Amino acid sequence: MEPRSVFRSEPDFLSINLMLVRGFGTLLVNGKAGPIAQPAPLVFADDFKSVETHIARASGLYTALSDGIECTILIHGPDGYISPDWYGKAGEVPTWNYAMIEVRGTAEILPEAGVPDYLDRLVASVEPRLAPKEPWSTEQLTAKRMRDFAAQVCALRINVRSIEGTWKLCQDKPTASREAAAKHLQHSPLGQHTDVLAALMVGGGVTGLNF
């Protein structure tokens, strides 16, 4: 994570909002040959003391899993390149602004019989956001299809030890320079959701925004 405290001083609600809005991240564990990363959906408990996810049993990460293994989840928010020209003053260098949450904890592998309930929780966390579409539910699956799915994936719960957010938003620059850079960034092609990042740079939040 970014070591400078100026980029780690944003309020906790920003990190919580980002985790909930994204609902997706990169799960990392240490395998025998080194770190293994796997994109994964995320379902947070209401108290954020745990997060559930699943991976394919055919994935390399599955072979490295065991109960109690240390895990890290990276949740990426918006990011974007910042040109020195955008600050309106000389002597600056290029940088890349971004928002990212790092969740650390230990894995608890859920039994295969628990996969259907996990899938219900995952669906309940995302389908209502597609309104006015009628939410899909696991009731539409045959018993065989659910058994096949449960056999193909490994569901796990990460018992959370820490949640840390990095919000690199030019907080180390004068207000005028930061606002000038944000104005250019909102239409930049270099990054992801640069308009959202620009809003964050000038004091906006992530509540209600979709990444």
Q: What is the pLDDT of residue 203?
A: 82
Q: What percent of the chain has pLDDT over 70?
A: 93
Write out the two tokens for 133.
Answer: 């579409």
Task: Say if CB 190 and CB 152 are below 8 A apart.
Answer: no
pTM of the full structure:
0.89
Q: What is the pLDDT of residue 145?
A: 98
Q: Which residues, including other chains, have CB under 8 Å from residue 209's CB and lie 6 or more apart?
A: 21, 196, 199
pLDDT top residue among 2 and 94: 94
How sure is the predictor about 184, in pLDDT bands with cuts at 50, 70 and 90? very high
Number of CB atoms found within 10 A of residue 12's CB: 10
- Mean pLDDT, rounded, of the chain: 92
Burial group, residue 112, by CB count within 10 angstroms (0-12, 13-18, 19+): middle
Q: What is the pLDDT of residue 4?
A: 76
Write out the two tokens for 194.
Answer: 């640069």
Does pLDDT of 206 surpass 80? no
Q: What is the pLDDT of residue 39?
A: 96
| Model pLDDT for residues 23-50, shown as the tens digit of each residue | 999 999 998 888 999 999 999 999 999 9
Write out the two tokens for 112.
Answer: 């295969």
User: What mean pLDDT do residues 74-87 have?
Assistant: 97
| Model pLDDT for residues 115-154, shown as the tens digit of each residue | 999 999 999 999 999 999 999 999 999 999 999 999 999 9
| Model pLDDT for residues 102-119, shown as the tens digit of each residue | 999 999 999 999 999 999
Tell me the C-alpha distance between 44 and 23, whole Å. 8
Task: Say if CB 137 and CB 128 are below 8 A apart.
Answer: no
Q: What is the pLDDT of residue 200?
A: 92
Tell me the C-alpha distance between 89 and 117, whole Å. 56
| Model pLDDT for residues 162-172, shown as the tens digit of each residue | 999 999 999 99
Q: What is the pLDDT of residue 1?
A: 65
pLDDT top residue among 6 and 96: 96
Does pLDDT of 208 surpass 50? no
- H or E element at residue 62: helix 60-64
